[in-house]
Amino acid sequence: MSGGDQLDFEIRPTTAPVSAADRAALMANPGFGRVFTDHMVTIRYSEGKGWYDARVEARAPIPMDPATAVLHYAQEIFEGLKAYHAADGGVTMFRPEANAARFNDSAARMAMPALPEQVFLDSLRHLVTIDREWIPSADGASLYLRPFMFANEVFLGVRPSTEYLYVVIASPVGSYFSGGVRPVTVWVSPTYTRAAPGGTGAAKCGGNYAASLIAQAEAAEHGCDQVVFLDAVERRYVDELGGMNVFFVYDDGSIATPPLTGTILPGITRESVLRLAADAGHEVREEPISFDQWQSDAASGRLREVFACGTAAVITPIGTIRHPEGEFTIADGEPGPISTKLGERLVGIQRGKADDPYGWVRRVL
Ligand SMILES: *Cc1c(COP(=O)(O)O)cnc(C)c1O
């Protein structure tokens, strides 16, 4: 492709699809990220030539030279979104254009080439078309789509790669909350930060996750489900969780979340919640929230609910906050009414069960 934003995909259906019976068994209880569909999308990029060789083909290992740049310098980005069965048997996605735009923002930060948004969207549509039998219909289940791109040049020099591979794989996932919504306990790490000003915190790159794993392990050692990161400069303000943004709900009905200053991942769920909350009549603020304030507002009762949000679990209430000096609980530690309502509204829109005045739901098939 040169210049334009269309690309013809060569469709090569697998000659060895998983049988219907095996697929049903795999999809009965898929969990998260363990079961994969029959196909994948691949598109190549080469400097000078641009994007080319777009394919939908059998999902297979990617042969790689040991000197492939991504293995050494981690030039890699990804996205995550879900496809759902519509009530009439069609297939929908939630705000995929926002994922396409963010993918390119991440690419720009990581010195990678932009992928035309239409090609990104077409790649998703092609994959869900060929693998539509893999979209679960169980309540709360969906087909999780994972587009990603990495430096594919065989070269050990430290500079942006001249070749990239863009890939999309898909994974049927069950309901995140099989046993009902349960508030999580979060650990405020005194040791680790996630992202510094000027760093890659706003890019959805694998490296951010690599850096957060040890903090997540520290959280687990303290009996917590997730880690919440404070800002890297003052270690005072709340940034976000390892893979979810965070919201605070106050006794006057107002809702606050940390602002996008470059260290926080601009979540599409975050943006959607801000919009839904404002339209439901809540005052919404994007403002810095210090850990001290969090603690004192929880103690005074001014803070009524805290929740995390992201594509995977949509809205996850936070019940208890643990830190090296102790712990505190939000209200009675149960899911709050406002988080619950916002979550139900968002899931209702995503699954086509509620009207969508925002035009967020894209019909893809
Ligand atoms: C992906 C991600 C989120 C959530 O983004 P959504 O678009 O809502 O799924 C939040 N924080 C981090 C670090 C992420 O990688």
Contact 106 CB / ligand 1 (< 6 Å): no
Domain ranges (residues) in the chain: 10-173, 184-350
Contact 311 CB / ligand 1 (< 6 Å): yes
Please state, in angstroms and rounded to a whole number, the distance separating the CA atoms of residues 228 and 219: 9
Beta bridge partners of 258: none
Residue in the block written with tokens 């969508």: 356
Contact 245 CB / ligand 1 (< 6 Å): yes
- For residue 100 the two structure tokens come to 């396409």
- 184-350: CATH architecture: Alpha-Beta Barrel (3.20)
Query: What are the strands, taking DSSP E only, across 32-162?
Result: 39-46, 50-58, 76-78, 81-85, 91-94, 142-151
The verdict on pTM exceeding 0.85 is yes
Q: Give yes or no for a contact between 276 and 247, defined as CB atoms under 8 angstroms apart.
A: no
Of all protein residues, the one whose alpha carbon is nearest to atom 12 of ligand 1 is: 243
- For residue 98 the two structure tokens come to 């926002």
Residue 53, C-beta contacts closer than 8 angstroms, at least 6 positions apart? 10, 42, 43, 44
Q: What is the pLDDT of residue 4?
A: 60
Of all protein residues, the one whose alpha carbon is nearest to atom 6 of ligand 1 is: 267
pLDDT digits (tens, 9 = 90+) for 124-161: 999 999 999 999 988 889 999 999 999 999 999 999 99
CA terminus-to-terminus distance, the chain: 25
- For residue 259 the two structure tokens come to 């602002």
Mean pLDDT calculated for residue range 340-347: 96
Greatest CA span in the chain, whole angstroms?
Answer: 63
Q: Which atom of ligand 1 is nearest to the CA of 242?
A: 13
**Choice from 76, 194, 244 to test ligand 1 binding pocket (greatest atom count within 8 A of CB):** 244
pLDDT digits (tens, 9 = 90+) for 185-242: 999 999 999 999 999 999 999 999 999 999 999 999 999 999 999 999 999 999 999 9
The fold of the 10-173 domain, in CATH, is D-amino Acid Aminotransferase; Chain A, domain 1 (3.30.470)
Q: What is the pLDDT of residue 86?
A: 86
pLDDT digits (tens, 9 = 90+) for 281-335: 999 999 999 999 999 999 999 999 999 999 999 999 999 999 999 999 999 989 9
**What is the Å distance from ligand 1's center to 244 Cα?**
5
